[in-house]
Amino acid sequence: MRNAAITGWGMYVPDQVLTNADLEQMVETSDEWIVSRTGIRERRLAAEADTTLAMSTRASRQAIEVAGIDPADIDLIVLATVTPDKFMPSTASLLQTELGAHRAAAFDLAAACSGFVYALAVGSQFIQTGVYRNVLVVGTDALTRFIDFTDRGTCILFGDGSGAVVLQATDADEGVLSNVLGSDGRGAQHLYIDGFASNGLFSDNGNGHIEDLQRTYMKMNGNEVFRFSVRVMGETAIEAVNKAGLRLGDIDWLIPHQANLRIIDAAAKRLDLPRDRVWVNLDRYGNTSAASVPICLAEAADSGKLQQGMNLVLVAFGAGLSWASSVVRWGATGVRGKGFHGDG
Ligand code: UT7
């Protein structure tokens, strides 16, 4: 079996910033409440031009450039999103054209906030089994388009963005060491966005046909999702560590889904990791759904703090309810790319 190494990374967030102070003008909330309950201070909002395709293209181009590969050599694109631009074709197929990755197979994957870690598992399997050599894995969401900005229970949490990595086949001792994927559909009603049902009717307004289309918003039972996530983040992270044949003491970094600082802290505690070994950026971006883990990874890689041989735990949870984790050993290629995006 070959290893699937992360050799490139990239990220994109929209320019428009929505601060907690802005939200104080929109709903009955306060900066103090939001920071103490979630850790979020501001988030980015997709402008009209920031489609899922456009954001994915920006992040992917960076990842491809860091990896130093020709887009024509990409064998597969897996794009994790629950906010695709169209029902068909897949946003991954549109992205393929933007990138000039003409040889690639391409498809979207929907696992909500767990989507990127799911997609990383899919991409790495194709490399480990020898089917493909170069895989682009992207996580992008524009969830703020589906947020009711009069609902203080959800509108404070989410932001938009995209992150991407290039996976490449290697014989070196690095790359994706383990994957854990999970889902419990019995919790589906705790976090969802209604839309077109498979019978062609709009599913939220009774007898409505497409002409009756009305805006659809995310619905969330925050307390249920919170309880679930505190349990599952730690459990699934530990399962991935065991599956990789490692011990907790072997883990150098936690790269968690950015939903709530209290949830992240609980996971870090289960892994026995201090805060300075946990990548946190939700104060700046909020919860960017499928983009949150790859954005963290891109920032961590650019910071120069990831050294060759370090073991990273990536872990996420989301609608489904779903969860996913992965242990990744950072490689020589990652260290070589240090500082690529910013300080050269
Ligand atoms: O990727 C997965 C996406 N979803 C999540 O990660 C959500 C996970 N859940 C959470 O992060 C938390 O449950 C929330 C941040 C959503 C809520 O925090 P909480 O500590 O669970 O608060 P709560 O829902 O128990 O509400 C406590 C109080 C309530 O008032 P009363 O009934 O005690 O008077 C709420 O009405 O806080 C009130 N409240 C707010 N107050 C100010 C709820 N939202 C707000 C708000 N500002 N934005």
pLDDT single digits (tens) 245-284: 999 999 999 999 999 999 999 999 999 999 999 999 999 9
* Residue 202 DSSP symbol: B
Q: How far is CA 225 from CA 101, 187, 191, 339, in A?
A: 38, 9, 8, 36
| Ligand 1 centroid distance, CA of 156 (Å) | 10
Q: Which of 113, 134, 260, 296 is catalytic?
A: 113
Q: Is position 155 annotated as part of the catalytic site? A: no
Lowest-confidence range among 1-10, 167-176, 194-203? 194-203
- Could you give the angle at which helices 52-67 and 292-303 cross, rounded to 10 degrees? 30
Residues 9, 166: Cα–Cα separation, whole Å? 6
Cβ contact 109:136 at 8 Å: no
Residue ID of nearest Cα to ligand 1 atom 43: 153
pLDDT, tens only, 114-150: 999 999 999 999 999 999 999 999 999 999 999 999 9
CATH at 109: 3.40.47.10
Q: What is the pLDDT of residue 36?
A: 98
Confidence band, pLDDT 50/70/90 cuts, at residue 219: very high
Q: Choose which residue among 118, 226, 232, 296 to substitute to test ligand 1 binding: the one with the highest number of ligand atoms within 8 A of its C-beta.
A: 226
Q: What is the chain's mean pLDDT, rounded?
A: 93
Q: What is the pLDDT of residue 216?
A: 83
Answer yes or no: is 36 within a domain.
Answer: yes
Answer yes or no: is 233 within a domain.
Answer: yes
Reply yes or no on whether the pLDDT at 335 is more than 60: no
Answer yes or no: is 208 within a domain.
Answer: no
In the chain, the number of structural domains is 1
Answer yes or no: is 17 within a domain.
Answer: yes
| Ligand 1 centroid distance, CA of 163 (Å) | 27
Reply yes or no on whether the pLDDT at 194 is more than 90: no
Q: Is position 296 annotated as part of the catalytic site? A: no
Is the CB of residue 38 below 6 angstroms from any atom belonging to ligand 1? yes
| Ligand 1 centroid distance, CA of 38 (Å) | 9
Range of the structural domain that residue 62 is part of: 3-186+217-329
Answer yes or no: is 79 within a domain.
Answer: yes
Is the CB of residue 33 below 6 angstroms from any atom belonging to ligand 1? yes
Q: What is the pLDDT of residue 342?
A: 37
Q: What is the DSSP string of 203-232?
A: TTSTT--GGG-----EEE-HHHHHHHHHHH
Q: What is the DSSP string of 301-340?
A: HHHT---TT-EEEEEEEETTTEEEEEEEE--HHHHHTTTT
Q: What is the pTM of this model?
A: 0.94
Q: Which amino acid is at 42?
A: E
Q: Which of 3, 20, 179, 287 is catalytic?
A: 287
Q: Is position 341 annotated as part of the catalytic site? A: no
Three-state DSSP class for 279? coil
Answer yes or no: is 231 within a domain.
Answer: yes
Is the CB of residue 57 below 6 angstroms from any atom belonging to ligand 1? no
Answer yes or no: is 92 within a domain.
Answer: yes
Answer yes or no: is 83 within a domain.
Answer: yes
pLDDT, tens only, 25-52: 999 999 999 999 999 999 999 999 999 9
Q: Which helix (H) or strand (E) holds 149?
A: none
Reply yes or no on whether the pLDDT at 309 is more than 90: yes
Give the number of other Cβ atoms within 10 Å of residue 227's Cβ.
12
* E strand residue ranges, the chain: 3-12, 16-19, 42-45, 76-80, 105-109, 134-141, 161-170, 175-183, 191-193, 218-220, 253-256, 311-318, 322-329
Residues 124, 329: Cα–Cα separation, whole Å? 13
How many residues would you count in the chain? 344
